[in-house]
Amino acid sequence: MGGEFDEMSNPIFDKGHIAWAARLGNNWHLYIDGIANPTAFSNLVGPPLVTTKYGRFMTMIQQNHSTVPAYSRLVMDKLTTEEALANVNPNSIK
């Protein structure tokens, strides 16, 4: 994934894992420990469907997000946490 994220949620820590959501264009991505989760988001406009073991992360991210984002099916990308955070403009973190 090149360039900077357009928007990023605050990271959530739970049971030794880190998760955050990031938007690039119209696509939202859920990262668990730096790896994009392929089943994390619905392809419908509105809140994510809580249908995976990562539902708790999605709920917490949504509750802590400044707006209600429109979710779309993400594109698979595998990044380390360092690689993902290196792409983030600090001014864009919400």
The CB density around residue 33, as the number of other CB atoms within 10 Å, is 11
- Tell me the sheet residues that pair with 32: 19, 35
Better-predicted residue by pLDDT, 91 or 20: 20
Q: What is the DSSP letter of 61?
A: H
Whether residue 61 contacts residue 71, with contact meaning beta carbons closer than 8 Å, is answered with no
pLDDT in tens, 9-67: 777 777 777 777 777 666 667 777 776 655 444 332 334 443 455 566 665 555 554 44
pTM recorded for the entire structure: 0.41
Residue with tokens 């605050």: 10
